[in-house]
C-alpha cells in the first residue's frame, strides 16, 4: 500500500507486548481474521510479543443471545492495545433490539476516524500506481446516529431520520485528514460534501474543515485544499482517480465512496481500513460478511491482512507494516495465487500461505 504516515504517535518505545483483541464476528470474518492473526505471528521480532484475546460480537451472536455487542467485549477491548474486527451481517430489514456492533464500538471507543487507503498494485514495483488515495471518513455521526421514526402521515406512513453533523467532529476528522496528507507526497485534501443542497449540515462540515489551516499556525501551509460535491466526486473518481489524494467526508459519503473506490483496484477483498481514535486503533477489512461464500474457503484474506498492517502502522511499527504490504503486493503482482473475486481459483489458505512464504 502507498499509505506511509503514522496516523497518531502512539508511544511504543517501552511496550514489551501487544495485546490484540480479535473479533471475527459474522460470515467470512471467521475465515479472514485468523489469516490476519497468522500474518502478525509471522513477523517475529519486528513487533513486541503478541497476546491475542478472542472476543464475541455480531448478528449471529444476537440471534443466539439477544445481544450483538456484549459488555464483556467492550470492557476487554479497553484492556487491549489494538484490535481486529472481521465483518458483521447487518439485515436490511428492521430487527427489533438489534443494532450494528461495529457502529456501537466506534462510538463506545471513540474511534472517530475510519481511514481507508485504496491503492492499485503497479505491474512494475518501481512504477507509481494509477490509483493511490485515502478516504478519511467521519465515523460517529451523520445518518449513522440511527435516530429514525415512523409516523402516520396524511398520505400514509412517513419515515424520518435525524442527520447529525457537529463542529467538533468535523474539526477532528478534518485534522486527521490534514495529518495524513502531511505524510504523503502530494499533500492534498479534498472535502467531499453536498452543501449546495444540505447547506446547514454539509455546510458546517465543509466550513469547519476549510477553517483548519488558518488555525494551525502554519502547520498545514504545505497542504493543498480542494473540495468536491459528492455526486460529481463519484463521477470523477471513476473517470480521473488520479486527481484524488486524501478525501475527507461525512460518515455516509465516506462509506459509499470508499466502497466505490475498491472497484478501481479489483475487489473489496483488497481494501483495508482502521477505525482510529486518539488512544486506540482497530483494523477492519472493508468487505462485508459475504454469506454467499461463507464456509467455502474462498474468501480473500488480503484486506484483513492489509488491515493488520495498517493497524501496526498506526502504532508506529512501520517496518513490520512494510513487510506485510510488500508480501501482499508481490502475491497480487505475480497473479498466480488469487481468490475467485480477483479472477483466480485459489483458496483462502493458499493465499495466506503465499503471503507467509514471502514474509
**pLDDT band for position 2 (50/70/90)?**
very low
Q: For position 267, what pLDDT does the model report?
A: 86
* 56 is annotated as an active-site residue: no
Selecting among 255, 317, 325, 341, the annotated active-site residue is: 255
Does the 1-110+277-359 domain belong in CATH 3.40.718.10? yes
Q: Give the list of residues 6+ apart from residue 198 with CB closer than 8 angstroms, or none.
A: 163
- Write out the three cell numbers for 188: 492534498
Active site residue 146: no
Rg value, the chain, Cα: 20
Q: Which of 26, 56, 175, 194 is catalytic?
A: 194
Predicted pLDDT at 252: 96
Q: Is position 54 annotated as part of the catalytic site?
A: no
- Which pLDDT value is given to residue 14? 61
- Residue 17 in contact with residue 7, Cβ under 8 Å? no
- Stretch(es) of the chain classified as CATH 3.40.718.10: 1-110+277-359, 112-131+163-266
pTM to 2 decimals? 0.91
What are the pLDDT digits (tens) for 67-118? 999 999 999 999 999 999 999 998 878 888 998 999 999 999 999 999 999 9
pLDDT at 184 exceeding the cut of 70: yes
Q: What is the pLDDT of residues 254-307, one digit of tens each?
A: 999 998 999 999 888 899 999 999 999 999 999 999 999 999 999 999 999 999
d(CA 107, CA 89): 19
DSSP code of residue 138 = E
Confidence of residue 10 (pLDDT cuts 50, 70, 90): low
Separation between Cα atoms, residue 330 and residue 324, nearest integer Å: 10
Catalytic residue among 146, 231, 278, 357: 231
Q: Catalytic residue at 26?
A: no
Which entry of 259, 322, 326, 353 is annotated as an active-site residue?
259
Q: What is the mean pLDDT of residues 211-225?
A: 94
What pLDDT, on the 0 to 100 scale, is given for residue 94?
83
Class of domain 112-131+163-266: alpha beta
Distance CA 50, CA 19 (A): 6
**Across 22-26, average pLDDT:** 97
Active-site choice (19, 56, 81, 144): 144
Q: Residues 57, 88: contact at Cβ < 8 Å?
A: yes
Amino acid at each position: 500500500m502507498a499509505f506511509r504516515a503514522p496516523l497518531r504517535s502512539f508511544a511504543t518505545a517501552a511496550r514489551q507486548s501487544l495485546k490484540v483483541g480479535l473479533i471475527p464476528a459474522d460470515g467470512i470474518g471467521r475465515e479472514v481474521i485468523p489469516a490476519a492473526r497468522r500474518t502478525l505471528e509471522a513477523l517475529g521480532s519486528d513487533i513486541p510479543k503478541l497476546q491475542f484475546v478472542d472476543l464475541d460480537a455480531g448478528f449471529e451472536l444476537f440471534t443466539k443471545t439477544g445481544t450483538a455487542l456484549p459488555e464483556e467485549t467492550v470492557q476487554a477491548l479497553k484492556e487491549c492495545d489494538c484490535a481486529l474486527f472481521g465483518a458483521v451481517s447487518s439485515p436490511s430489514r428492521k430487527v427489533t433490539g438489534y443494532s450494528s456492533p461495529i457502529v456501537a464500538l466506534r462510538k463506545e471507543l471513540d474511534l472517530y476516524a475510519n481511514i481507508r487507503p485504496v491503492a492499485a498494485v503497479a505491474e512494475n514495483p518501481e512504477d507509481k500506481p494509477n490509483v493511490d488515495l485515502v478516504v478519511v471518513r467521519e465515523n460517529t455521526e451523520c445518518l449513522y446516529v440511527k435516530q429514525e421514526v415512523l409516523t402516520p402521515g396524511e398520505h400514509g406512513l412517513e419515515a424520518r431520520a435525524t442527520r447529525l453533523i457537529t463542529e467538533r467532529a468535523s474539526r477532528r476528522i478534518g485534522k486527521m485528514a490534514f495529518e495524513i496528507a502531511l505524510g504523503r507526497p502530494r499533500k492534498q485534501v479534498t472535502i467531499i460534501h453536498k452543501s449546495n443542497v444540505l447547506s446547514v449540515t454539509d455546510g458546517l462540515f465543509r466550513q469547519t474543515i476549510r477553517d483548519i489551516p488558518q488555525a494551525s499556525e502554519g502547520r498545514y501551509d504545505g497542504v493543498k485544499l480542494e473540495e468536491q460535491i459528492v455526486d460529481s466526486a463519484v463521477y470523477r473518481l471513476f473517470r480521473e482517480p488520479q486527481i484524488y489524494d486524501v478525501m475527507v467526508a461525512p460518515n455516509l459519503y465516506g462509506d459509499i465512496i470508499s466502497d466505490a473506490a475498491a472497484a478501481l483496484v479489483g475487489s473489496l477483498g483488497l481494501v483495508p481500513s482502521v477505525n482510529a481514535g486518539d488512544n486506540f486503533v482497530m483494523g477492519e477489512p472493508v468487505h462485508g460478511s459475504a454469506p454467499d461464500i461463507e464456509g467455502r474457503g474462498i474468501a480473500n484474506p488480503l484486506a484483513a491482512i492489509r488491515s493488520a498492517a495498517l493497524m501496526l502502522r498506526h502504532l508506529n511499527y512501520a517496518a513490520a507494516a512494510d513487510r506485510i504490504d510488500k508480501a501482499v503486493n508481490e502475491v497480487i503482482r505475480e497473479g498466480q495465487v488469487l481468490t475467485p473475486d480477483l479472477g483466480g481459483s485459489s483458496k483462502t489458505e493458499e493465499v495466506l500461505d503465499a503471503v507467509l512464504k514471502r514474509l
